[in-house]
């Protein structure tokens, strides 16, 4: 009989090894899935994990890694602070959209004026927009005890409706021949989140993501607030005993994750995406949840997990176009990653023992 035995304390080894084991398990079972679909599993795995980094056209894909990784890391870091404290912001996608709308809105309001101040103002507006959107579930939770998971999630759909309305109405490009979507910010120098080094993929969002990783690391390991966040997640009563004000912590965690998601939205709309359009959001806010857990809610882990996730996005697209793999198969593949991670996570706190069944 296989039994799980609780470890006296969490295993350091397994807490580092489970993400790697999860990636390996995903490759094996993903490969099986691709084989069942009639594709060569080895080639599919190689296309996803190898080609974007070291394949023939890697020079084109490598910058994409930063472009796709930055918003994931930025959002996931914010989410991880809340997740550590047991505060579940599931609506980063909505905060991402609102951040893009407010940030782009500020930029477009200045059009066609050129000034160095415009981009910083947009950054500020993007962060504030995401923060404000996250304050809705936060205040409702603090005041009325509503469930932040449901409220933040439902607000994603509200944000999507707002996005559609904005790209068809208020922010629609007056010179766009009636097509939905705003002016393209890439063609507006003061508002353009351009690459800092051409062809590198390195834009301000990547810089912001790096700074956030360092900031989060210091916060969690060296600061009282980070200690209180971890304490609340581990033992809420002990946190209260230590003097944590739960309401203030909820406002902080949801606020900061909203602000970072908003920032991610702004950097995306002002850079790689270029404009507000109906299908502006591509699910970064949801994928970031996977990234946060894949990275063990640890800042450095999230950085690595964000890059890995970006890799499967890019590799998945290549596999779709070159091998004709269905998009759904790629999504299943990404989902497997979270599934195996959570399943193998058990090993951090439990050990597996084989033992002969006690005779009845």
Partner 1 sequence: MSEMLLRIEGLTKAYPGVVANDHVSFDIAEGQVHALLGENGAGKSTLVKMIYGLVKPDSGRMLLRGKPYAPAEPRAARADGIAMVFQHFSLFDALDVAENIALGMETPPPMRDLARRIREVSETYGLPLDPFRTVGDLSAGERQRVEIIRCLLQDPKLLIMDEPTSVLTPQEVEILFQTLRKLSAEGTAILYISHKLEEIRTLCDHATVLRLGKNVGECVPRETSARDMAELMVGSTLKTPERVAKAPGPVALELTGLSVASPSAFGTALKNVSVQVSQGEVLGIGGVAGNGQDELLAVLSGEIRAPRDAVKLDGKGIGTLGPTARRALGLLSAPEERLGHAAAPDMSLTENAMLTGSVREGLERRGFLKWGAAQAFAERIIKDFDVRTPGPGNAARALSGGNLQKFVIGREVLQRPRVLVVNQPTWGVDASAAAAIRQAILDLADGGAAVICISQDLDELMEIADRFAALNEGRLTAPRPTAGLTIDEIGLMMGGAHGMEVAHV
Which residues of this chain interact with partner 1, rule CB under 8 A?
Answer: 8-10, 222-225, 227, 230-231, 234-235, 237-243, 245, 358-360
Closer residue to partner 1, CB minimum distance, 322 or 353: 353
| Half-sphere exposure at residue 137, Cβ-oriented, CA atoms within 13 angstroms | 31
Shortest approach of partner 1 to residue 235 CB, angstroms?
4
Shortest approach of partner 1 to residue 237 CB, angstroms?
4
Shortest approach of partner 1 to residue 264 CB, angstroms?
27
DSSP, collapsed to helix, strand or coil, labels residue 206 as helix
Asked if residues 263 and 127 have their Cβ atoms less than 8 Å apart, the reply is yes
Closer residue to partner 1, CB minimum distance, 73 or 220: 220
**Whole-angstrom distance, CA of residue 199 vs CA of residue 45:** 27
Closer residue to partner 1, CB minimum distance, 55 or 86: 86
Shortest approach of partner 1 to residue 350 CB, angstroms?
13
Shortest approach of partner 1 to residue 219 CB, angstroms?
10
**Whole-angstrom distance, CA of residue 83 vs CA of residue 306:** 17
**Whole-angstrom distance, CA of residue 138 vs CA of residue 258:** 10
C-beta neighbour count of 57 within 10 angstroms: 10
Closer residue to partner 1, CB minimum distance, 147 or 245: 245
Contacts of 202 (CB under 8 A, 6+ apart): 63, 66, 195, 196
The token duo for 19 is: 């993400």
Closer residue to partner 1, CB minimum distance, 98 or 239: 239
Shortest approach of partner 1 to residue 79 CB, angstroms?
20
Shortest approach of partner 1 to residue 283 CB, angstroms?
32
- Residue 5 CB-density burial (10 A; 0-12 exposed, 13-18 middle, 19+ buried): exposed
**Whole-angstrom distance, CA of residue 328 vs CA of residue 76:** 23
Contacts of 8 (CB under 8 A, 6+ apart): none
**Whole-angstrom distance, CA of residue 62 vs CA of residue 201:** 8
In angstroms, the first-to-last Cα distance of the chain is 13
- Residue 258 CB-density burial (10 A; 0-12 exposed, 13-18 middle, 19+ buried): buried
Shortest approach of partner 1 to residue 232 CB, angstroms?
9
Closer residue to partner 1, CB minimum distance, 256 or 314: 256
Closer residue to partner 1, CB minimum distance, 60 or 241: 241
Q: What is the DSSP letter of 228?
A: H
Closer residue to partner 1, CB minimum distance, 24 or 218: 218
């Amino acid at each position: 009989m296989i039994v799980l035995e609780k470890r006296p304390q969490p295993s350091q080894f397994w807490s580092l090894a489970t993400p790697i084991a999860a990636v390996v398990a995903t490759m094996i079972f993903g490969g099986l899935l691709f084989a069942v679909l009639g594709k060569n599993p080895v080639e599919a795995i190689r296309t996803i994990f190898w080609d974007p980094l070291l394949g023939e056209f890697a020079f084109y894909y490598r910058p994409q890694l930063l472009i796709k990784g930055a918003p994931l890391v930025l959002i996931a870091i914010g989410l991880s602070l809340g997740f550590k404290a047991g505060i579940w912001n599931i609506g980063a996608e909505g905060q991402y959209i609102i951040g893009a709308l407010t940030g782009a809105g500020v930029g477009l309001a200045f059009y066609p004026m050129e000034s160095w101040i415009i981009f910083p103002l947009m950054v500020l507006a993007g962060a504030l927009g995401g923060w404000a959107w996250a304050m809705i579930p936060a205040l409702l939770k603090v005041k009325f005890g509503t469930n932040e998971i449901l409220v933040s999630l439902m607000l994603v759909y509200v944000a999507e409706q707002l996005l559609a309305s904005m790209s068809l109405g208020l922010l629609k490009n007056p010179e766009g021949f009636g097509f939905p979507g705003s002016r393209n910010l890439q063609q507006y120098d003061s508002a353009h989140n351009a690459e800092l080094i051409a062809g590198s993929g390195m834009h301000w969002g990547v810089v912001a993501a790096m700074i956030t990783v360092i900031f989060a690391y210091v916060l969690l390991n060296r600061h009282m607030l980070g200690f209180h966040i971890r304490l609340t997640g581990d033992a809420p009563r002990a946190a209260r005993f230590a003097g944590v004000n739960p309401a203030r912590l909820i406002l902080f965690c949801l606020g900061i994750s909203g602000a970072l998601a908003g920032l991610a939205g702004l950097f995306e709309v002002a850079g790689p995406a270029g404009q507000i359009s109906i299908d502006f959001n591509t699910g970064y806010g949801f994928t970031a949840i996977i990234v946060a857990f894949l990275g063990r809610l640890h800042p450095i882990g999230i950085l690595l997990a964000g890059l890995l996730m970006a890799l499967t996005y890019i590799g998945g697209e290549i596999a779709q176009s070159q091998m004709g793999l269905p998009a759904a198969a790629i999504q299943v593949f990404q989902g497997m990653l979270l599934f195996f991670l959570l399943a193998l996570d058990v090993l951090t706190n439990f050990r597996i023992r084989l033992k002969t069944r006690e005779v009845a």
